[in-house]
Structure 1
Amino acid sequence: MKWNIGLPSCVLAALLLLASMPAGAGVVMNATRYVYQAGEREIAVKLTNKGTLPVLAQAWIDDGDARSTPEHVDVPFNLTPPISRVESGKSQTLRISFTEGTVPDDRESQFWLNVLEVPPKAESTGDANTIQLAFRYRLKLFYRPKGLKGSAAAAAENLSWGLSRDGILSVTNHSDYHVSLNELRLVSGSETMEAEPLSIAPHASLSPPLPKPLKAARVDVRYQSINDYGGFVPHSTTIDAR
């Protein structure tokens, strides 16, 4: 079998490749996010091919630029193997090791693990109206130094929320950890407003975009954070406009 790989377009979230068979994602990972604790020798990422055909899996890590290519990324990690063939029904383990690069030692750092799944190039059957997809997965990878204050589990619970009198919402993360929210809902009386999922870096503040300014004296903030294991944790608080 032949594959289309090593192309500059591997940085795209999904590649459209001409072929003669329908396509579907077959590779799954053993987690939705990964945490590298300082001092660990390495961490493992398990890829499993749930599809019916073998695939090539190309993997690399970037520091936040989704357009980065494997040849040009500069991160303090080594990942092996960068390219592997995964047979149908089989698994492949990727190993990530820290290379003592320069990262802050007083807060968590966020990187991204990319896995590009490239199916084999099928022989032509004369049907030019079908396509084959190469899927790119992009998962969060956190580097967690030793000696950080508090805990990742408590970081989301302790977010500080504010609401201005002109309806602008704000949130501050005072912790040393990244906080990811997959759901944010604001309730004031009979009105409910939903905001897009968001991530808040350590010791950072932001104003989540809202469909419209929320003019209210008091608002219930209900949100779900994502923990180290990919689980959803509900939280709620009440804030007064100032």
Structure 2
Amino acid sequence: MQGTIRKTSHSLYLWAAAFMLSAVGTASATVVMNGTRYIYVAGAKEITVKVSNVGKLPALTQTWIDDGDEKSTPEHVDVPFNLTPPIARLEAGKSQTLRISYTGGELPSDRESLFWVNILEVPPKPKADEDLNKLQLAFRYRLKLFYRPNGLPGSADAAPGKLTWRRTTDGGLSASNPTPFHVTLNDVRVNIGDSDVLVEPFAIPPLGTVTAISPQPLSAGRELRVEYKSINDYGGFVPHSKTVEAP
């Protein structure tokens, strides 16, 4: 989740930006989703995202899909998906179903493609008799959307266990993904003797290699093991353990 105020040409963005006042205040998100990632399997008619307002006041939501540019705005995205409704008023205690449909396009057939579902939550406009000297924030959520072609070899569940880990020549750590699935990692730790080196979470694209950020050089000349957790299709964490290979 990202709590942001972004000023763009769109009226909802302008409204949100206009209420960033100088006085100190508090803000909390009231819109929640039924998942952290969504899988669109090729051939599906549509998939849905459930959005709920758990607060005590109505909220206005704006939604769109981008292909990886977090600075994207609804007017300038070009993706092969249709998302409805793009703007909705969500009453307190109520839910809204977003529908995502694939409109066709040239996407790779030998690997997954990654997109992002954006949900902007705009708080209600203060009433005339309310104190205006308070901070109001528009919260923007970005959730992963994977387009998964049919017939890919292997499975998304098995992909994290097929990663290969290697020390780089400068004492860093790299991970290679030989599968056609995206792999997202959390809680990555390299065992060095009696201690662990914690590495920042990262994701590895299909058939790709990523060099992780290690807070200290990894020791050479000794066996290292990496313990990590992958995030599955349902947002669950699955533990793994692999040997780190020499450069």
Deviations 1:119-173 (A, max 9, x none): 1110255745411111000000000001101000000010011114541211100
> Residue type matched to 2:238 in 1?
V
Q: Structure 1 pair 104/17, CA: closer, same or farther in 2 (3 Å)?
A: same
Paired-residue identity, %: 56
Q: Structure 1 pair 131/239, CA: closer, same or farther in 2 (3 Å)?
A: same
Structure 1 counterpart of 2:19: 17
> Residue type matched to 1:218 in 2?
E
Q: Structure 1 pair 212/26, CA: closer, same or farther in 2 (3 Å)?
A: same
Structure 2 counterpart of 1:218: 223
Q: Structure 1 pair 11/197, CA: closer, same or farther in 2 (3 Å)?
A: farther
Structure 1 counterpart of 2:72: 68
Superposition map of 1:79-228 within 5 A: 79-125=83-129, 127=131, 129-164=133-168, 166-216=170-220, 217-228=222-233
Q: 2:62 aligns with which of 58, 71, 84?
A: 58
> Residue type matched to 2:19 in 1?
L
> Residue type matched to 1:179 in 2?
V
Structure 2 counterpart of 1:238: 243
Deviations 1:15-71 (A, max 9, x none): 572479843211000111000000000000000000110011100000000011000
Deviations 1:195-224 (A, max 9, x none): 111010000011101112112321110000
Moved more, 52-61 or 208-217: 208-217
1:5 and 1:81 map into 2 onto residues whose CA distance is 21
Give the structure-1-normalised TM-score. Answer: 0.91
1:79 and 1:201 map into 2 onto residues whose CA distance is 24
List runs of 5+ in structure 1 lacking aligned partners.
none
Aligned residues: 238
**Aligned residues of 1:15 and 1:135 also touching (Cα < 8 A):** no
1:75 and 1:27 map into 2 onto residues whose CA distance is 25
2:88 and 2:6 map into 1 onto residues whose CA distance is 11
Secondary structure of 1:157's aligned partner: helix
Moved more, 119-128 or 49-58: 119-128
Over 6 Å off, 4+ runs: 9-12
Secondary structure of 2:137's aligned partner: strand
1:31 and 1:16 map into 2 onto residues whose CA distance is 30
2:179 and 2:123 map into 1 onto residues whose CA distance is 42
2:31 and 2:163 map into 1 onto residues whose CA distance is 35
Q: Structure 1 pair 122/239, CA: closer, same or farther in 2 (3 Å)?
A: same
Q: Does 1:229 align with 2:227?
A: no
Secondary structure of 2:74's aligned partner: coil
List runs of 5+ in structure 2 lacking aligned partners.
none
Give the structure-2-normalised TM-score. Answer: 0.89
Moved more, 183-192 or 45-54: 183-192
**Aligned residues of 2:126 and 2:132 also touching (Cα < 8 A):** no
Over the aligned positions, Cα root-mean-square deviation in angstroms equals 2.4
> Residue type matched to 2:82 in 1?
N
